[in-house]
Structure 1
Amino acid sequence: MTRLQAFWRGDLPLDEAFWTWTVTIGLTINLLAIIALLTLISLERPWEALVAGYAFTVPYNIMAVIGTWRSAERYPGPTIHADLARGASVALMAVLSVV
């Protein structure tokens, strides 16, 4: 739990925040949610599908953007890297939240 808290606070290095928490874990959570959503829809359980599809993904996606944004604020390298990480995290999480 301490890594998750560090991610939320922006205490992680930008590369770990973006590539590990936003891209890898974010895509995994969203992919699993999509599989659960489609499975529940095929079983004609729309309310459960709605919960499975959005109850975990949207809060995580918001947290991923905030954690990456905060890590980017503390990034000591070129500002273009921080700006690209911010933009990519917002775009990726927005697309995954809508799907």
Structure 2
Amino acid sequence: MSRNTGTLVTALSALWKGELPLGQAFWEYAIAYGTVANIVATMAAIAAAAAGLPDAVAIAVFLLPLPYILTAVIGVVRSANRYQGPRNRADMAKIAVILWGAAMVIL
């Protein structure tokens, strides 16, 4: 395993466990990386459909970021549970990331 791969695995493990600061988990891993992954997958799925590939291929490509989206949602919720700041901020982050995750799956 390369150094970068090890760093990625470590970061995703920390996200999954809720060990990242809430702001970083929410804004960086969910909103930024997750949204970019979803946009890329959506564009690739549209391209696959436009190229005449089977619908199953386009659907599979569209759903590729789903494991990451679920990891990000669970990680943000767990980070919010550990958050030492105002409880309403943690609760709002949970609601927002769940709505974001649903939107990423639908759109």
Fold-level match, TM-score > 0.5? Answer: yes
Q: CA deviation at 1:59?
A: 1.4
1:75 corresponds to: 83
Tell me the distance in 2 between the aligned counterparts of 1:4 and 1:64.
9
The equivalences for 1:5-44 within 5 A come to: 5-44=13-52
> 56-65 or 30-39: which moved more?
56-65
Match of 2:58 in 1: 49
Greater radius of gyration (CA)? 2
The amino acid across from 1:34 in the alignment is T
TM-score, normalising length: structure 1: 0.95
In structure 1, the partner of 2:97 is 89
CA RMSD, Structure 1 to Structure 2 (Å): 0.8
Q: How far does the alpha carbon of each residue in 1:27-74 deviate from its partner, in whole angstroms, 9 at most, with x for none? A: 0110000010100010111221111001x2221111111000000000
Distance, in Å, in 1 between the alignment partners of 2:104 and 2:10 is 25
Structure 1 vs Structure 2: percent identity of aligned residues? 35
Task: Give 5+ residue unaligned stretches, structure 2.
Answer: 1-8
Aligned-partner residue type, residue 102 of structure 2: A
The more displaced of 42-51 and 11-20 is: 42-51
Q: Secondary structure at 1:12's aligned position in 2?
A: coil
